[in-house]
Amino acid sequence: MDNQSSGSFFLLMEFSEVRELQLLYFSAFMVLYLAILTGNLLIVFAIIFNHHLHTPMYLFLLNLAIQDLGAISVIIPKSMANMLMNTRHISYFGCVCQVFFFVFFLGSDYWILTVMAYDRYVAICNPLQYRKIMNKQSCFYMILAVWVSALLEGLLHTSFIFSTPFCSNIINQFFCEIPQLLKLTCTGLNQNEIKLLVAFFVLGLGCFFFILISYLSIFTAVLKTHSLEGRKKAVATCLPHLTVVSMFLLSGGFAYLSPPSTSQDLISTVLYSIVPPLLNPVIYSMRNKDIKVALSKLLNMGELSKEISLTFHL
């Protein structure tokens, strides 16, 4: 396939040739997508409309929810459209956009989780200096660094992958996933892509150890705390983030370190691309009293607005 041709396209994986099963998969993806949209949008609106949550921790959580929404919206709608229309096509430009935005949002997810670990470290290990260290300006620069680094990562990966010719246009996945695209290149990994993968692997490993050291310091500080209430509060604020980080790393590690096979690739891809955005809002809303209160107020506001509109209608 000539990957420079304006009319070129890729063929994504077909879940089934049976039309009834295709519609069943479409319904399953629709339910998952709506659940992810609802959960993350509730977190976004709860934080935006509650001024008590305009703090660094919830500002970072707001960015995480936006990034999850972006990542899932890049891959699921196209797959659903293909199932509904009984096709497998994605244009060359569409595939480029999928790779760029998916890497962009997924990368920013990892960076923001690292920043959130630092926020929890400062809050628990250095509480007296928390407001000074985590002021508005420093939070703004941290978030800016997250988005810029993810943007750079997306641009570099996309440009290096699509600068090489492809010997096939059949992608063994339901979206344009980088490992599957690399299998289609005629020349294999080019030097630039190898260097980029090594660089981001080292950087990602550095972030992992930073998160690990942060939580070791947090647990050490918590064990030194004599107040039982203080320990409970520290665990309550850290446990959701630690759960999300663990799920993100374990699902990603399973996806890229497990032996290749068609069914295994599909399961692992679903695990790291769909499960975290689905469960993140649940984890944070279940383990965080402030989020629970904000969500309750938000839902009550929705019910109140419905009653008002119904009254005016009558």
Name the residue among 187, 185, 193, 181 with its Cα closest to residue 167.
Answer: 185
pLDDT of 6 reads 38
Name the residue among 295, 287, 284, 302 with its Cα closest to residue 52.
Answer: 295
In a domain, 3, yes or no: no
Which pairs from 40-45 meet CB under 8 Å and 24+ separation? 40/65, 40/66, 40/68, 40/69, 40/277, 40/280, 40/281, 41/65, 41/69, 42/281, 42/285, 42/295, 42/298, 43/281, 43/284, 43/285, 43/291, 43/295, 44/69, 45/298
Which pairs from 26-31 meet CB under 8 Å and 24+ separation? 26/80, 26/83, 26/84, 29/76, 29/79, 29/80, 29/83, 30/80
pLDDT of 2 reads 43
pLDDT of 91 reads 93
Range of the domain at 305: 9-313
Amino acid sitting at position 250: L
In a domain, 108, yes or no: yes
Q: Report the number of distinct structural domains present in the chain.
A: 1
Predicted confidence (pLDDT) per residue in 256-293, tens digit? 665 555 555 677 788 888 888 998 888 887 767 778 78
CATH number of the domain within which 238 lies: 1.20.1070.10
pTM of the model: 0.85
Name the residue among 32, 66, 40, 55 with its Cα closest to residue 119.
Answer: 55
Extract the residue ranges of the chain whose pLDDT is less than 50.
1-7, 304-305, 307-314
pLDDT of 301 reads 64
3-class secondary structure, 130: helix
pLDDT of 312 reads 40
pLDDT of 304 reads 42
3-class secondary structure, 83: helix
In a domain, 4, yes or no: no
In a domain, 50, yes or no: yes
